Chain A
Amino acid sequence: MSLRQIFVLGILVLLIMACNKEVIEKIASFTGFQQAPHFPAPVYNITGNKPTQAGFELGRKLFYDTRLSRNNTISCGSCHIQSAAFTHHGHDLSHGIEDRLGTRNSQPIMNLAWNTHFFWDGGVFDLDLQPIAPIINHVEMDETVDRILDKLRVDKNYPALFEKAFGSQEINAVKFLKALSQFMLMCISDKSKYDSVQQQKALFTKEEAEGYTVFKTHCASCHKEPLFTDNSFRNNGLSPRSVPDEGRSLITLQASDQFRFRVPALRNLSYTAPYMHDGRFYTLEAVLDHYERGIRKSNTLDSILQQNSKTGITLTATERTQLLTFLKTLDDKQFITNPILAEQ
């Protein structure tokens, strides 16, 4: 091999490496808010707070910053862990500051641009207002936004990051909340196998396809595709605990809303156990058992669960296996491993 050949080869190798590097960077880089073609239009007003790289990165830094809690011990990411699709994996009820225990299971930070309401009871209707609740809740972060802003103002990095994102070094509540929203808006799960099938990039196996049919027959009216929730509040017949959580009626004060909770999305179930508003079921088998024979009758029990004078949803053993197989196609590995959503 002549020197010239070595030289050309060397250049080629370098070029390929550069190419590779570019590809890797592209996957892990910020691409802005992009909506999957099979998703509906977002509920959140994206044009009013369009995620930019600087805004998103500021929001991500805030999301993982423990200074958002009174004693600087826990961050949003403490109870919303990416590998668990941003839930508090393994905890029926989430514990916050000083291990104080809450009353509900933490929900995933996932596809929030399409949420009409936040929290299990839907008490908040605007993503920008959502973070205030866990911040000031004394069993979660037990802090105030004012004190957080004071902490950020004296930090050596934040003023510059706020300037990069919003044009001035001033740190205020609006920018703080808008940045957090930008990060959360980008937590989009639309790359599961189900999504590939919807976009004609993949095919279900036979069992998955059969499970999809079972799903459409028995589950899809509440867990509406493609987000797998219809954003409604329903009573799915869970027996109230000794201190009953009345759910939606705490917000509306309507007796007809008693024991109703937000219909959760079924994406990423493999990573988000336990299930239900109080995390009472540790497996999907237990959830299906509940729908088959655990439904408790009450005035507000959803009518879909009591048809033809019979309560619950009965599946054959085969249908159950098929359904569970289909539900696995809603797992989105890319979402829970996407490096740009991780703490940096």
Chain B
Amino acid sequence: MPFQNYYYMKHIVICLAFILTLSACKKDIIESTDPGELTVEFDNIVGGQNLQLNTGTYTNSSGESFSIDLLQYYISNIQLVKADGNIYTVPQDSSYFLIKEQDVTTHKAKLKVPGGEYVGLRFVLGVDSLRNTMDITKRTGVLDPSGGMSNGMYWSWNSGYIFFKMEGLSTFAPADPNGNKKIRYHIGGFGGYSSPTINNIKTIQLDLKTAGTAKVSATKRTNIHLLVDIAKMFTGTKDISIAANSTVMFGAVSTDIANNYTSMFRHDHTEN
């Protein structure tokens, strides 16, 4: 009997171990698809330096020095690419972010995404054309077109969002009537409502494999840390000189700047 008992016990132990293994497996699977918190951090820099509003001085590709006192841009329509090529699209209504350099709480776009490993990140720099024409009830929060002074990211006279806004000072800029040598870059243009016009909506695609994939799970926070080199807006496809273009708003030069600034974003690392 004792022998028999031992034999019996052994079976039970093996069975239990098996069940435990199975259930552990199962738990793993559940964990990996449970939504987890993922942030995408937009860390603004200028060339090799961290961006310091007002106090930092930088030099562009044309050798012109400048300082920045305001920098903000829209990030929207975020998508994540899985290793198998499947794409997770963040629900559009919760996929609009206004990154403001002066407000550190806006530097991270906070997302809830299904658990899993992501090897690529896509987003729009700006606001898609559809949202530019939606009813105002669908344009609240950072998209509130009446945001006025607090955001100032909407052209009321030529209805549409300003995607990217950078202002500062440069001795290379011509003096305005008040004697200030300002630089002003307000880049927008969603393609026009009824007649076509410039479209500066840019989709950015970043590969996360080199600097670290994002492993999202319900039990931790993951942060994709991007470095955003603002100096790139002055160069890339076409050099923009402050002396020639100290103020660029809704005009042809804005497309050159938009073509340049698509290369601003670099994946630095992922905090898993």
Enumerate chain A interface residues (CB-CB to B < 8 A).
Answer: 45, 48, 116-117, 119, 122-126, 128-129, 132-133, 135-137, 144-147, 172-174, 176-178, 248, 250-254, 257
Contacts and interface: CB of A to CB of B under 8 A. Distances in A.
Contacts of A144: 146, 148-150
B138 to A, nearest CB: 10
Contacts of A145: 146-148
A123 B158 CA distance: 4
Most buried by A among B137, B148, B155: B148
Contacts of B145: 129, 132, 173
Given A251-B197, A253-B197, A132 B156 contact: yes
Most buried by B among A45, A48, A146: A146
A147 B148 CA distance: 9
Interface SS, A side:
helix
Contact of B144 (A48, A147, A173): A173
B149 A146 contact: yes
Contacts of A133: 156-157
Given A119-B157, A136-B148, A173-B144, A125 B193 contact: yes
A125 B133 contact: yes
Interface in B173-196: 192-196
Contacts of A173: 136, 140, 144-147
A248 to B, nearest CB: 8
B157 A177 contact: no
Contact of B159 (A126, A147, A177): A126
B159 A250 contact: no
Contacts of A172: 140
5 contacts: A48-B135, A173-B136, A176-B146, A177-B136, A177-B146
B146 A254 contact: no
A129 B195 contact: no
A173 to B, nearest CB: 4
A253 B140 contact: no
Nearest to A125: B193
A277 B212 CA distance: 59
A62 B144 CA distance: 19
A136 B158 CA distance: 13
B157 A137 contact: yes
Contact of A178 (B136, B150, B198): B136
B12 to A, nearest CB: 63
Nearest to B134: A126
Contacts of A116: 194
Given A123-B158, A174-B137, A132 B194 contact: no
A257 B196 CA distance: 11
Contacts of B149: 144, 146-147
Nearest to A233: B195
Most buried by A among B159, B194, B252: B159
A132 B159 CA distance: 10
Given A145-B147, A251-B158, 9 more contacts: A48-B137, A123-B159, A126-B135, A137-B157, A145-B146, A173-B136, A173-B146, A253-B252, A254-B195
A133 B250 CA distance: 16
B56 interface: no
Contacts of A248: 195
A274 B133 CA distance: 33
The 3 residue pairs across chains A and B that have the minimum distance between CB atoms: A144-B148, A145-B146, A133-B156
Contacts of A132: 145-146, 154, 156
A146 B147 contact: yes
A48 B157 CA distance: 24
A144 B156 CA distance: 11
